[in-house]
Chain A
Amino acid sequence: MTLQAVLAANRFGLGARPGEITDIGRDPREWLMRQVERDVAVPQVIRALPSSAQAFEAYRELQEMRREARAEPASDNKERDPVANVRQKLAPLYLDQVAARYQVAVASTDPFRERLVHFWSNHFAVSADKALVAGLAGTLENEAIRPHLSGSFAELLLAAESHPAMILYLDNQGSIGPNSMLAQRASRRARKAERKLDINENLAREILELHTLGVNGGYTQADVTSFARVLTGWSVGGSRGPLAEGKPGVFEFRENMHEPGAQTVVGKRYSESGGAQAKAVLNDLARHPATANHVATKLVRHFVADEPPLAAVDHVAKVFRDTNGDLPSVHRAVIELPQAWEAAPRKFKTPHEFVISSFRALDFVPDKPLQIAAPFQLLGQRPYTPGSPAGWPDTAAQWDGPDALLKRIEWATQLSDRLRSRAKPLDIAAQSLGEALNERTRTAISRAASAAQGTTLLLASPEFMRR
């Protein structure tokens, strides 16, 4: 068991499971490379989940029921806040997605690949806080991220931006070109249209700012507006009114909403027509040097340090540019960074990482979906609800508040109490941290008053809280 194997399991993977450090053996890099180079089938428990179209259908049925209930004459039947109601009824969909995600994460023998799934899912974040997306949040990860980690960033980008969860989360489904057929027809029909038909900038802005170029990537407000015009018509089928056409919950390009004519985005003129125009813009954004830099910075921040060393960022960005964003090459470049193998852990685990690694160390995952989701929420990171399209933050300062630390300790106590009859805490510690286990922690665990307390001390130890 070498320290390198420990780092591979804990820094690149999701925290060592019993036996994992031994299994990694003498060539930790090779163990990691294997996970990104071959295509891995989407795990069965995830394939068994309802698709985004089915989840959307469930939302639509609920909306329909609400509408009918409202149309009925007033009665004593007081309905609660309808939005909260919809969310509650979509909860089983959401919880099943959460449960599947963490069952896979805890059991996985490809934990580096799973970490990358989580990383990219967070890069293209959608939030279940929005009622419309509540049942769809996990589907973007499973349908757009998982199948696209062995291809190029351009393919991943296209899959994420055209996924119904993204379009609905960032409000593009009803974004209408002011000179589109629909807008023109509406203005002919009613002189004082009850509402003006126009664009919504949200998706365009977040693609530029968060998903590709980055906030200092050199675009302007004019680029946001013209890109928003390019994206008009990128919609989802099966809503009401002008959004009715198309398969429910499936990407639908609406020609009649699309702003006609050429647009200039980030210095280039796009004269393509229809939905191809946005594809062309996305394709160029995916290959832009600012995108390479933005993505490299985030990867290095995730795997090396909150303050990403410039040399490491430059290396990963160069590989991104040289390979046109070939993701296996980019991920390999991260593995090859010498800075990623320094012995001292520099990353403070997020709640998500802390809970997964605790479960993996203890080889345990709760049975019921609600119990699986609970610790993430209690520790401040309810799955798929990052609160903003920027995704969950990836720096310690966002997670290391005093109260957050105490809550981790409280949760670790509860978990250890519950599992008290299982393996000996010193064995668990050795399997989980290997050579990284501190002498001080080993002594504290060996002197613990009970096995449960010993396990709590392991999970609360500084070396377990970091990776």
Chain B
Amino acid sequence: MLRRTFLQSAFGASVAALTPRLLLADAATDSRFVLVILRGALDGLAAVPPYGDGNYATKRGALAITAPALRLNGLFALNPGLAQLHERYRSKELVVFHAAASPYRERSHFDGQDLLENGTTRPGVARDGWLNRALSVLPAARMRTTEQISVALSQNLPLVLRGENQVNSWAPSRLPEADADTLQRIADLYSTEPYFAERLQAAVASNEIAEGGMKGGGRDPLGQFNQLAAAAGRLLVTDDGARIAVIEASGWDTHANQGAEQGQLVNRLRVLDSGLDALRVSLGPAWNRTAVMVVTEFGRTVAVNGTRGTDHGTATCAFLVGGAVNGGKVIADWPGLATSSLHQGRDLAPTLDLRSVFKGVLATHLSVSESDLESKVFPDSRGASPLEGLMQRA
């Protein structure tokens, strides 16, 4: 409550008064979009094993999941750690993509992530991210500020949300709150420094909403995922809450002892799986207006390396899940795992541009116009036309 008082005095209005709720209850402004970035290069051949591919078992050797329980169709299955996602598949709320990749064709994590997030075809060229650029043209941003409708579930912004539009951020804290008087004085001190003033104002506002009595957080890179996902749900669920959220989870760089039906990677996928379910639960009825996109920078080698892991590769899988998703299908132009079909003789070949997926979701779910998608959000992406039929409504 201290903060609410502070907000009213420091910025002359309460959070609620700043957001004319119910003015925009139409579908275009009511849709929720969550982007989950898996940093470190998730192994698509383990997360979504192509058990029906005749070359899979021999090429994958000890890491092959040959008799999967969570089948999707005759070719693909889900990793044993993704049981909840399989439920979503059965209830037609999950689309699985395979052999997908950003336009990046080298194997540096950092450049790969850079390009996945900057939405261009080269790393390092854009200082802003595609989701930040998209904020300018969202119908949801017409009546509210971009800061009110977007949030990163981290102390700092990932590249995909950085840019000229202000974006909020939130992460759990174990610190005691600063008192309202001190915050007021700091706000005064910042009044000639907009760089600091804007950030302070945004942080105080989002803290009001996200705090669900949660404290602390695990040290494991994935330990916080559940907590962050649930908090994202709380930030997105209210009428005057956020509409766009980004969650990051690292720890996918499985160079050694990756495991097959059980082991390191399955355990991590289980954390991802339960976190996505926590997001669904905390969204409640708003889940039906939600789409969650789960992506990683690139995939991993088809062959197992010398340390029972896999090295950096190219194409991988991606997921689109949510109550608004037209799911229950796998979208993959499967190139196969025969050596002659592999990218540079070693990686799963990319046949689907991730930008086509992003554009398909932004176009139908968030009502971003095609011209904005081409010119602003994903420049030079004409070759990657938006995928259709991803969402329930056209």
Contact = CB atoms under 8 A, between A and B. Distances in A.
Interface of A: 84, 87, 129, 170-171, 174-176, 194-202, 205, 209, 215, 221, 224, 377-380, 382, 385, 387-388, 390, 397-407, 409-411, 413-414, 440-441, 444, 448-449, 453, 456-457, 460-462, 465
A284 to B, nearest CB: 21
B312 A407 contact: no
Nearest to A84: B220
A387 B5 CA distance: 38
Nearest to A195: B62
Contacts of A404: 155-156, 169
B185 A407 contact: no
A373 to B, nearest CB: 11
Given A84-B220, A388-B250, 9 more contacts: A174-B256, A198-B304, A215-B108, A380-B171, A402-B199, A402-B200, A403-B207, A409-B186, A414-B175
A194 B62 contact: yes
A411 B177 CA distance: 9
Interface string B187-206: 01110110110111111101
Interface in B174-189: 174-179, 181-183, 185-186, 188-189
Contact of B109 (A129, A197, A199, A390): A390
B192 A378 contact: no
Given A196-B306, A200-B305, A205 B312 contact: yes
B156 A449 contact: no
A380 B155 contact: yes
B196 A405 contact: yes
A75 B201 CA distance: 55
A264 B345 CA distance: 20
Given A407-B155, A460-B189, A388 B178 contact: no
A462 B193 contact: yes
Contact of A457 (B157, B162, B179, B186): B186
B87 to A, nearest CB: 25
6 residue pairs, one from A and one from B, having the closest CB atoms: A402-B203, A401-B156, A198-B306, A406-B203, A401-B169, A410-B175
Contact of B188 (A197, A401, A444, A453): A444
Contacts of A441: 189
B221 A387 contact: yes
B39 A388 contact: yes
B107 A205 contact: yes
27 contacts: A129-B251, A171-B255, A171-B256, A171-B307, A195-B62, A198-B303, A198-B304, A202-B255, A209-B108, A378-B173, A378-B174, A379-B155, A390-B109, A398-B156, A401-B199, A402-B168, A403-B154, A404-B155, A406-B200, A406-B207, A413-B176, A413-B179, A413-B182, A453-B185, A456-B182, A457-B182, A461-B189
Interface SS, B side: loop
B108 A400 contact: no
Contacts of B11: none
A382 B185 contact: no
A182 to B, nearest CB: 10
Contacts of B309: 171, 200
Contacts of B256: 171, 174, 200
Q: How large is the interface on B (under 10, 10 to 19, 20 to 34, 35 or more residues)?
A: 35 or more
Contact of A413 (B111, B178, B308, B344): B178
B185 A444 contact: yes
Contacts of B344: 221
B190 A215 contact: no
B97 interface: no
B250 A409 contact: no
Nearest to A87: B219
A293 B253 CA distance: 28
A388 B40 contact: yes
Interface in B44-79: 61-62
A378 B175 contact: yes
A195 B169 contact: no
B170 interface: yes
Contacts of B190: 462
Given A388-B250, A390-B109, A403-B203, A453 B182 contact: yes
Contacts of B255: 170-171, 200, 202
Contacts of B108: 205, 209, 215
B43 interface: no
Contact of A402 (B169, B179, B251): B169
A328 to B, nearest CB: 30
Contact of A387 (B107, B156, B250, B304): B250
Given A194-B62, A462-B190, A400 B156 contact: yes
B309 to A, nearest CB: 7
B357 interface: no
A318 B354 CA distance: 41
Contacts of A201: 305, 311-312
Given A202-B255, A400-B199, A405-B203, A197 B154 contact: no
